[in-house]
Structure 1
């Protein structure tokens, strides 16, 4: 039985604002302050340049020595350029650090979400939030946050200097710039919403690619390559269309700024020329005013660009905040100190007990109905029944992947809701039906459960599951690669490696979901012997369709439609349970 899947898509997240961006920037506030300080010093150097140019013109007109004035101007230009370069380096490094901390926070949260969240969301979409969404935030830092401080200083300084030179030209400039800026702001409306939609489409495309690549062999074998390529292509085209919509809206912003620049320049040039001719201002003052005009317009363009980048970044931040806002999996009693789960003592409470446990899908479809189960220490219990009876769900509930709707699960007499989940899981070994193998080496996969295990221990557990010869075929031994999702191993080898990984942790209770599903008859017999030996020192709870695996279990529990309909040994159930007798007959065991 597969894990429960919630119907429908997750609810749309609330739009993020500047207030949501600030907490992410807080760890980098020192670097941002340094960048802002450099920006302010650079702004002061930029504001000094028009005055120095005017001074050079006046020196030339007066016939005075030119070298000191030109030398000072060159020094200021060099200092301004050096400060700009340093500021850019600090900004870029800070932006990379910002992306890193955001990705680390996202990854940490993604790995700690309740299992039900993974059932509701597509893996590719979650991956795109760690990748492309955080990259968009990078531009928000470099072009949107610190640049504003320097731009404001330069703009205000330029306005003050222009007022000193000529008030009438300043008024003319302000009118032209205000019209252009207002147009640009109006043109940028909706960029955040469009950018968020574009990122959602990119996430959907990534999910489509991930889906196709994860099942590429099945797709090839089914002759569905062209259809799947078309499906991914359609998703890519939707992402393209959404991106073009953003680009179209952003493209309206640049012309508005250009019109403001060109209009202000032509107006100042025309009116300024007239005022020079009338003797109201000098040529040096007009040149200085035009330079200040450019100093005003450039920050204005930066501010408009920063605003657009900010809207795009906030669209990505909305998707990031949606994940960061999800509650991670937590203990039922978080105030309890971390520790270890109790161990059942012989003759005391059972190691594990399910009492009247019920569980339903999120849409209300029942999976388990009043299931009760008692597992004594060092016993071997099997769960059997037709597909969809709820067998795998029992294991998922024991692991705490989902909360029960009603009833109680106890470990050594203690309600599991009163135990730290990590402490309880340290007592459990769990082998899923699909036996996932991680990309990497055999050693990497085994050390997942016990990173301090020695090589002799690794070889010993491989021998227990009959994988020694398989691993020794390669000269790399334990360091032989298994491929992405264990693709370089056979299905049976993947299953046995997953079992070896769990056995290495020496669990007190080993949960096995169809452990022999991918094994041939020879390896099934070998593994059955291994499990029989393992059960002497630990408790086993095995889900099985293949009844030959569990014939010698201490107790076999028969599930049907989420209820326990029979229990007993193989011989007892053949006599007392029509369903079990039917299952056994189908497998030629009666």
Structure 2
């Protein structure tokens, strides 16, 4: 509709000129021209709004798709990729995509419609002038298209450099206290600056190539206008066309070259956006973690106390680079029991917990839950029966309530206070008048290391898991809170099984079974007393901690 209103204007101007020459009443012709001008302006404004809204809608949908995919990727993908680069794809790349929609695809389509209409109208006015115009414009368009061929490749390189810069900033901010304490601030600033310089250099390469497009379009427009003005003046003088027809033709010429200039710029913008789109599609093409299989059986019911709840049968695991972490690991966790994994650093203890949670697929052997191979169970069904506290005990930015409700959104305030009391955090939370709504800071920075550890344990306990996985639960606790936590875990094990990774053997002395690992293999199993007598490695560990 906007194109039709624009194409009508030159014909109406020519009509006004003819009316002036004939002496007929001028007002009706001018009134129609004014109405068409106002209609074209209104349509242009509405079109701009639709374009912007469409662009925002595309960005919204893309960001939602990216966020969904990023949060569902296999854990191994996060090991291979930098967080900052993933964040850049959600932010900077999707912003470029908006420009592609608003200034790229739709502008190209609209410009083509207007240009085709202008060419048809120019052909009706004077065919010779049209041929002259097409020849002049074709040179500029061809040059511009050839110049923009490399924009997509260079644009993707520029966005990758932006991703690298974002990753460098994220790395520095996540460890800003360590960097300050290490006197490394200047070096990190230099490193981030070098990444920014790389992004700048890549952006300049894109700008240099895009700069070739604009002059080509300008030369084509000016050349076409001068040629039409000269030849058209000659044809008017010879009587081949009238002044009104020449004026109409020149106006149609502007309607042709203006959208062509927009189309050339839009084409360049489109190439830039396609570079960003390729980075977005790279993430969307990754397979998400396979956690929704309605056709697979759900997890079996919890067996009676003492019966095997979790069993590892000759489990092996290695990374894709060939590094072998576990070899033929076998043990079981009976329902209602406490089992501990101990051994030197790097023995594979934390990796076993990651395999149980399904973060990585086992390379060999079988993991069974209540007799069922976990590969035949939906991950969501299995994880609903597990509680997991990582060694770093991550705390999310927000409040204490937000962190606790992560595992059980329907938990009541009395339940929240009860689980806080179980881990000795009640007094800590009551220090603030905000209570459960006290802020914990980014990554729990407003809490001590021990408080973060206990909050993470409280979060896991609130979910009432059938098996609680604890990776170094007392790593950040003092002697008093360690004793309190031992009492809590003892009470918790009355109605659930516990699998605890521990370097501090004092926390697992009363375990029903202690599994000793060394270099990815089980080298001994038994109670504390049995292992002191039978395992040289365990006896060495216990002696070093003054437990024998």
User: TM class by shorter-chain length?
Assistant: over 0.9
Question: 2:484 maps to which residue?
Answer: 526
Are residues 1:579 and 2:533 paired?
Answer: no
Distance 2:297 2:32 in 1: 67
Q: Rate the CA distance shift 1:341–1:220 in 2: closer, same or farther, 3 A.
A: farther
CA offset at residue 94 of structure 1?
A: 1.1
1:317-365 per-position Cα deviation (integer Å, ceiling 9, x unaligned): 111001000001114x9362574443223464x0000000000111111
Q: Rate the CA distance shift 1:527–1:70 in 2: closer, same or farther, 3 A.
A: same
Distance 1:412 1:305 in 2: 64
CA offset at residue 586 of structure 1?
A: 1.0
Q: 1:305 aligns with which of 265, 289, 301?
A: 265
Question: 2:304 maps to which residue?
Answer: 345
Question: 1:33 maps to which residue?
Answer: none
SS at match of 1:370: strand
- 336-345 or 528-537: which moved more? 336-345
Distance 1:473 1:277 in 2: 95
Are residues 1:326 and 2:274 paired?
Answer: no
CA offset at residue 275 of structure 1?
A: 1.3
SS at match of 1:202: helix
Distance 1:563 1:149 in 2: 65
Question: 1:76 maps to which residue?
Answer: 36
Question: 2:77 maps to which residue?
Answer: 117
Distance 1:71 1:542 in 2: 86
Q: 1:388 aligns with which of 328, 341, 346?
A: 346
Question: 2:218 maps to which residue?
Answer: 258
Distance 2:406 2:305 in 1: 31
Q: Is the 8 A contact 2:347 2:518 kept in 1?
A: yes
Distance 1:341 1:398 in 2: 16
Q: 2:327 aligns with which of 357, 361, 369?
A: 369
1:174-199 per-position Cα deviation (integer Å, ceiling 9, x unaligned): 00000000000011011000000000
Question: 1:565 maps to which residue?
Answer: 523
Q: TM-score, normalised by structure 2?
A: 0.99
Distance 1:71 1:587 in 2: 98
Gaps of 5+ in 1: 1-40
Q: TM-score, normalised by structure 1?
A: 0.92
Distance 1:309 1:218 in 2: 42
Question: 1:138 maps to which residue?
Answer: 98
Question: 1:490 maps to which residue?
Answer: 448
Distance 2:351 2:53 in 1: 48
Q: Rate the CA distance shift 1:341–1:235 in 2: closer, same or farther, 3 A.
A: farther
RMSD: 1.1
Q: How many residues align?
A: 548
Distance 1:484 1:246 in 2: 37
1:462-501 to 2 correspondences below 5 Å: 462-501=420-459
Are residues 1:455 and 2:408 paired?
Answer: no
Q: Rate the CA distance shift 1:210–1:347 in 2: closer, same or farther, 3 A.
A: closer
Distance 1:226 1:368 in 2: 41
Question: 2:254 maps to which residue?
Answer: 294
Are residues 1:87 and 2:41 paired?
Answer: no
Question: 2:231 maps to which residue?
Answer: 271
1:461-480 per-position Cα deviation (integer Å, ceiling 9, x unaligned): 00000000000000000000
CA offset at residue 150 of structure 1?
A: 2.2
Gaps of 5+ in 2: none
Q: Is the 8 A contact 2:294 2:378 kept in 1?
A: no
